[in-house]
Structure 1
């Protein structure tokens, strides 16, 4: 299956793609560039700049055009402005375990609660200071739910919302876990190993769910996007023309296009992957499920 180049974005770290059905547009972030990006098939590419790094986003149900975002110092509401800026309103500041941390992967559960993990920006340090937080509309602040992670990633929820998936991307871990998820209280429990990716190509990065309940996750460093069945069996791997796919999301009018963002590493020879940092599209033959909005 041939991956199609959507945009030669040259993102340092393209992350958190989200298909906005009402606009028929794809949104995503470039973490080090501190930008929110939008691509529309006929309107092209637009971007807005923030004062902090943006790591993960979800649309807000109660504020059309605005987004909830995990950034460096906490969770914010972001509203794109004319002139390419973002109006940021703090929702839930977070006291990180140590300095120089930021949010990483995140998304909403099926009930509209926002979940996001934190990591030390110096990933090579291998510090287990990462935490997973949840935040519900009207909450006094973000609640710390799980800890002892290096790079929490791969957050996803099954179509019925009753299973939560989470990974750790660090080379020392490379594991994906599944949890039973109480949709009434927003509580994950019964954690178990879903897939050990150490013997597989690529480290686990960002993920998406399809309508069959299968879990798609980017194999960072391997140029692959893997699909696991609900039983944790790897049943297919699709190629993209870059080494570091970062996160995937289903979109398009029928939600049957798998968009993939990627990383353009600095200080290395990119002659064998000139499109690194681009956004790609795959046609996997299955459809995804709509992405929930915050507070929806």
Structure 2
């Protein structure tokens, strides 16, 4: 199965792809560029720039055109302006565990709560200061749920909303965990190892869920997207023409296209991966689960 180039975006760190069904458009962010990006099959690309790095996004229910975002200093509501900038309204500031941190991976559970992790930007330090928070419509602040993480990533929820998945991308960890998830209270319990990715190609990065309850996760550094069955068995691995796929999301009119964003590392020879930082599409033969909006 060959990956199709959607856009030669040249993103520094292309992350958090989200299919917006009402617009039939794909949104994602480029973290270091501080941009929210949009691609539509007939309208082409668009981009808006913010004042802080934007790590993850989810659409806001009942607020057309607005997004909730995890950024550097906290959670914000974002609205694109016609001049190519973003209007940012603070929702919940966060006191980070250490200087030099930002938000990283995030998404909504099936009830519309926003789950998001933080990390130290100096990944090489391997500092276990990363945290996982949840934030619900009407909350005054984000709720700390887990700590002792390095690079929290790979958030996903099973189709029935009763299992939560979380990974840690750091080379010293490379694990994916599963939790029993109480959808009524938004509480994860019974953390257990779902996949040990140390012996597998690629570090676990961003993830998506299909209708069969299988977990798709990017194998960063390996140029692969892996599919794991609900019992943690590696089912298949699909290739993309770049070394660092970052996150995947199902989209298209029938949710049967797997979009993949990627990273364009600086200071290295890219002659063997000239499309690094691009957005790609795969046709895996399965359909995805619609992503809930925040507060929906």
TM-score (norm 2): 1.00
In the TM superposition, 1:19-168 aligns within 5 A as: 19-168=19-168
Instruction: Could you list the structure 1 runs, at least 4 aligned residues long, displaced by more than 4 angstroms after superposition.
Output: none
Q: SS of the counterpart of 2:199?
A: coil
Which residue in the other structure is 1:257 paired with?
Answer: 257
Structure 1: distance between partners of 2:157 and 2:209: 7
Which residue in the other structure is 2:174 paired with?
Answer: 174
User: How much does 1:63 deviate?
Assistant: 1.0
User: How much does 1:140 deviate?
Assistant: 1.1
Encode CA deviations 1:121-175: one digit per residue, 9 max, x unaligned.
0000000000000000001100000000000000000000000000000000000
Q: SS of the counterpart of 2:12?
A: coil
Structure 1: unaligned runs, 5 residues or longer: none
Q: SS of the counterpart of 1:26?
A: strand
Encode CA deviations 1:211-260: one digit per residue, 9 max, x unaligned.
00000000000000000000000010000000000000000000000000
Which residue in the other structure is 2:266 paired with?
Answer: 266
Encode CA deviations 1:7-42: one digit per residue, 9 max, x unaligned.
000000000000000000000000000000000000
Encode CA deviations 1:48-96: one digit per residue, 9 max, x unaligned.
0000000000000031110000000000000000010000000000000
Q: SS of the counterpart of 1:124?
A: helix
TM-score (norm 1): 1.00
Structure 2: distance between partners of 1:293 and 1:280: 23
Q: Does 1:193 align with 2:193?
A: yes
Structure 1: distance between partners of 2:84 and 2:161: 35
Structure 2: distance between partners of 1:101 and 1:171: 18
Structure 1: distance between partners of 2:262 and 2:256: 19
Structure 2: distance between partners of 1:16 and 1:112: 16
Q: SS of the counterpart of 1:267?
A: coil
When the two chains are superposed, the root-mean-square deviation of aligned CA atoms in Å is 0.3
